[in-house]
A and B are shown apart, each in its own frame.
Chain A
Amino acid sequence: MSALQPQLDDLAQRLRAGADAANDIAALEELRVRFLGRNGEVTLVRRGIGALPPAERPDAGKLINDAVARMEALLDDAKARLARGALDEELQRRIDVTFPAPEASLGSIHPVRRIVDEIADAFGRLGFATVLGDEVEPSYYAFDALNIPADHPAREGFDSFFITPELLLRPHTSPMQIRTMQQHRPPVAILAPGRCYRRDAVDARHLFQFHQVEGLLVAEGIHFGHLKGALAHLSRSLFGPDQRVRFRPSFFPFTEPSAEVDTTCPKCKGNGESCSMCGGSGWIEIGGAGMVHPNVLREVGYDPAVVSGWAFGVGVERIALARYEIDDIRRLIESETEFLRQLQ
């Protein structure tokens, strides 16, 4: 072993002792100059290479360079230690994180849109497209094409606002069924949300304008069981995983068989017992549904012997009342800031 090594080890030893004792950057700089500076102790060792035995001279340079690297690393470590001392001081700082911050300037989406969008999402997952249409419709689309000819008793039930005898504010979004089927060959799977109008006097449960979401699926092999499954899926998407649906026979000219659709009351979870929302029945009504009437399919040029389908319509405001436990339907259209703020 070279005689140089113990000498270099000694230098490193002393540098470490000095670095450990240093309290500031200046002291480290002083050490660096003393050991590694131009006239420092390492330089003195380097100068002594010529005095070494000839056999040791070739390795001497590498030994010294290694020692220098080791010593520089020692100094860097010491420097980092001192710098972290300053950060540790920062780490002692505390603020009151509960101190109120200014509110973010977000607006809000109306509860009606939120529900429509959730329905669109629920059916989007099943492969339905969402389409929009006009609010003023010829009576052909609102009635005739939907198997409600002039003089059909059901027309009266729609109690519509007319602009002219042939033009009215749509009482449901079902015209979009006809428009879509006239433009596309089957299969067709659409959701049609939108504003509808009926001549209802305004009170806590009624508005003359409201939102409906219509759903339509026509393809080969579509049956009533699928309708039940799809509306159960809808109810669970809106109100939670334990929801059930109940179909009661009913009558709509454009579907057959037709049904009124109830879902588990979201407030009492179907227990009934003096529940203010469902009147104790345990169910709330969410809309009407049924298999598309063969006359409607024929009207749009579909063959009812080949394709079958179903349609449903749900009232958005009614869902909103149940979901948010709103006491008066007018609040939805009054859209008071406080109301919107609570439901945002």
Chain B
Amino acid sequence: MRLPLAWLRTYVDLPDDVDAIADKLSMLGFPVESIERKPTITGVVVGRITAIEKHPNADRLQVCTIDIGAAKTLTIATAATNVAAGQWIPVAQIGAILPHVTIAPRKMRGVESEGMLCSAEELALPAEWFEDGIMQLDESLPLGSDVVAAFGLCEPILEVEITSNRADAMSVLGIARELAAAYGTALRAPSFENPASLPSPTERAPRIELRSNDCTRFVAQRVEGVRVAPAPSAIRIRLAQAGQRPIDALVDISNYVMLEIGQPLHFYDADAIPNAHLIVRDAAPGERLTTIDERELELDERALIIADENAAQGLAGIKGGSASEVRASTTALLIEGATFVGARIRRTSARFALRTEASSRHERTLPPALADAGVARAAQLLASLGAQLFAPVVAGGEIAPTPQIALASHELRRLLGIAASPDSIAFHLRALGCEVAVDGELLSVRPPWWRRDLTQSVDLIEEYARLEGYDRIPESLPSVPATEVSSARYRREREAAFLLEALGYREVLTYSLVGESLLGTLARGGLDERARSVEVANPLSEEQRYLRASLEAGLLAYLARRDERAAIFEIGHAFARDERSVLETPTIAFARATDPVEQPEWREEGFARVKSDAIALLSRLTGAAVTVASGEHRFLHPGICALLSIGGRELGVVGRLHPYLAQSFALERPVYLAALAFDAIPEYVAPTYAPPSKFPATYRDLALVLAPEIEAAAVERVARAAVGATCVGVRVFDEYRGAQVGAGKKSLAVRITMQSPSETLTDTAVDERIDAAIARLHDELGATVRR
């Protein structure tokens, strides 16, 4: 919200230093987002053009005689075309400082010019919002008076953020009220009441019908004798400073009241409302409304409207309709000031994408009494321009009083950590307009009508803390009692990350929301992920329409786009469609792109590397042994894909990227991927210590010849079972295929290690077990020993 400091100062005495005021506002909960500072302007006074003549030597210049209330008039030449005798205008005297110029006496084509007539732009106002040429001032201004001081032209404008709970602070007066409370000074508020005895408009009296509970109050007042003409200078200039374009006196007064006290108003041309009968109701399906900015809306029952007896005349709290808007011929007005249930207004304004100054106030739910104040204030301003007022008509019944709230002063100590005396609490709350009764420790508080957000004691505690200043509350550290909540999941995720770092992977982040470009690449690689992907109902763009179904795709995109040689990992969530909900899987995924190496087709060193990384990770996280078996996964080469499991529970996969996907991502280097489902990984079980045997271990190496499809895991399993209790290790450590073993065969080298806890094994005992193993390997796997 734009807050002209000059306007604020009319209601409350403030320090000169704008930065101090901005700090104060920030520390009250109204952050100042920016300060628009104005250039220095001096020496500009109110003048009147008493005579005007053509310049003797220049067609485009006129020579004005200006009365500035002094004994001597000024002669000023101007090129402006909108000047006429009798006008009140701003005059920059000799020596005046304007934004881009200092005024000095000068000869203009032979005529001595003693100053300059000013346009709005020269007074640091938006040129396009005022007269083209010399700015026009009210005739009531004293000649010779200081224009800059009168309108605060050099005062900065504050851009202030108002939190959504503060319906009362969306106005200059609302902020002035806060500053007055904070500085402990008086507020100079104008009167917001209609004169006591206004004539009744008799048969033309407004009739108001509330057919919806979403309108909490509706005030209508008839005003006659209005004229569509420019508003007084003070109003025009203040509106411009507040960022609102001046239009004419009627529109400007309506905007002025909204900015001043926060109540949006609507002015109807009274003659356009049959029987002065206004109805607040839900729109009928298909009902149409043309707004004052000529937008055609098709309504339905979700929209709350103000209608006359025939048709919608406005979208309640958002925008008026063009049919009954004020026009040049208007002489009588119906002023509408109403309050609504904020949510209703917000929903409608969102649905029609119609966000207005009015709706931004109404959607916070304005206090009902504000409607009366706003209408009365507008009536008063119109009366000052000569309009005739009639008594207002009100619908909405009695306004419920704000609640009486009990507050014990020790509650402040409990929640804020500082002692607050009942008197100091009462002092601050009274400054905010509360009625406070103190009874020992107990306070009974009634908030003012404009603070409907204060409903329970904690609300008052916050008000106290805000006015006392958060910086007055000393810092201290709590002593936290032991709690039962566990950090186990976090610690495990952390450990996984640090293990992967140690294994040489860099952690990356990728987007959880993905779209066509990624899904399209996957689809070209033969993977349709759309079917399994969860769709976002309101994405920002097509590129973010889906929740990622895997982390692997993001890693591949990273390799393809950012670094095709990287070893990377990400820990995050993958999402899948479920019956009614979303299935969310915390996942660890890592990928390593390698340099191509010369190797036989049956060997894959890159795979071995990533597999051992995955096994190391899993066994460190669980303290258990990992089982590897061949398997399949949609991202992986069907012949180079392993399933990893512990105790029969499948944890994830590791393998080489599927060649189709490698092609569609244009990844030329071999890429190996692993993906592990975090929540499937068993809890860590602490191992127990077994002292090593005192007796020496013995091993035998065997060269086995087998069919190529027999897996090393089978060899290890069979050999271990055959050797029996003294077997402490079986490990296949080499593979060979080629001429020496013959076509259709492979050779595996396996080392069997044996050790007894109670004796030294004799060669005979060892050989006997090895022979048993060779026999079993032959019987079960068809293996023969190559000597």
Contacts and interface: CB of A to CB of B under 8 A. Distances in A.
Q: Are A and B bound to each other?
A: yes
Contact of B562 (A156, A221, A253, A335): A335
A225 B164 contact: no
Interface string B563-594: 10011110011010000011010100000000
A106 B502 contact: yes
Among A165, A189, A335, max chain B CB count under 10 A is at A335
A270 interface: no
A315 B250 CA distance: 47
A225 B494 contact: no
A333 B513 contact: no
Contacts of B461: 256-257
Contact of B508 (A184, A260, A340): A340
A209 B511 contact: yes
A78 interface: no
Contact of B501 (A109, A230, A245): A109
Contacts of A129: 483, 485-487
Contacts of A222: 478
Contact of B505 (A107, A130, A217, A336): A107
B478 A248 contact: no
Interface in B444-482: 456, 458-459, 461-462, 465-466, 470-471, 473-478, 480-482
A223 B417 contact: yes
A27 B165 CA distance: 102
Contacts of B497: 109, 113
Interface stretch (A57-65, A66-74, A90-98, A120-128): A120-128
B438 to A, nearest CB: 22
B504 A189 contact: no
A332 interface: yes
Interface residues of B, number: 89
A184 B477 CA distance: 23
B493 interface: yes
A113 B494 CA distance: 8
A333 B511 contact: yes
Nearest to A193: B490
Contacts of B470: 224, 228, 247-249, 257, 259
A101 interface: no
B63 to A, nearest CB: 49
A106 B567 CA distance: 10
Interface residues of A, number: 85
Contact of B540 (A127, A208, A250): A208
Interface stretch (B87-95, B367-375, B531-539): B531-539
Nearest to A260: B31
Nearest to A333: B509
Contacts of B311: none
B512 A224 contact: no
Contact of A230 (B478, B547, B563): B478
Contacts of A154: 164
B512 A135 contact: yes
Interface stretch (B21-29, B653-661, B726-734): B21-29
Interface string A246-285: 1111110100111110000000000000000000000000
Interface string B505-548: 11111111100000000000000000000111111100010010
Interface stretch (A9-17, A32-40, A43-51, A194-202): A194-202
B416 interface: yes
B498 interface: yes
B490 A135 contact: no
Nearest to A126: B480
Interface string A99-123: 0000001111110110001001000
A105 B609 CA distance: 13
Among A120, A156, A190, A249, max chain B CB count under 10 A is at A249
A107 B507 contact: yes
Contacts of B417: 223-226
A53 interface: no
B246 interface: no
Nearest to B565: A337
B490 A131 contact: yes
Nearest to A208: B540
A3 interface: no
B509 A112 contact: yes
A106 B487 CA distance: 27
Given A187-B480, A187-B483, A224-B416, A337 B363 contact: no
Contacts of B534: 136, 163
Contacts of A124: 487
Interface of A: 105-110, 112-113, 117, 120, 124, 126-132, 134-136, 151-154, 156-157, 161-165, 167, 169, 180, 184, 187-190, 193, 195, 197, 199, 201, 208-209, 217, 219, 221-226, 228-230, 232-233, 245-251, 253, 256-260, 291, 293-294, 308, 332-337, 340, 344
13 contacts: A105-B504, A127-B481, A130-B491, A132-B490, A153-B164, A209-B511, A224-B473, A226-B477, A257-B458, A257-B470, A291-B415, A293-B458, A344-B506
Given A161-B539, A208-B540, 16 more contacts: A107-B569, A124-B487, A129-B485, A131-B487, A136-B584, A162-B537, A165-B537, A167-B582, A184-B485, A189-B485, A195-B573, A219-B480, A223-B415, A251-B165, A291-B415, A335-B568
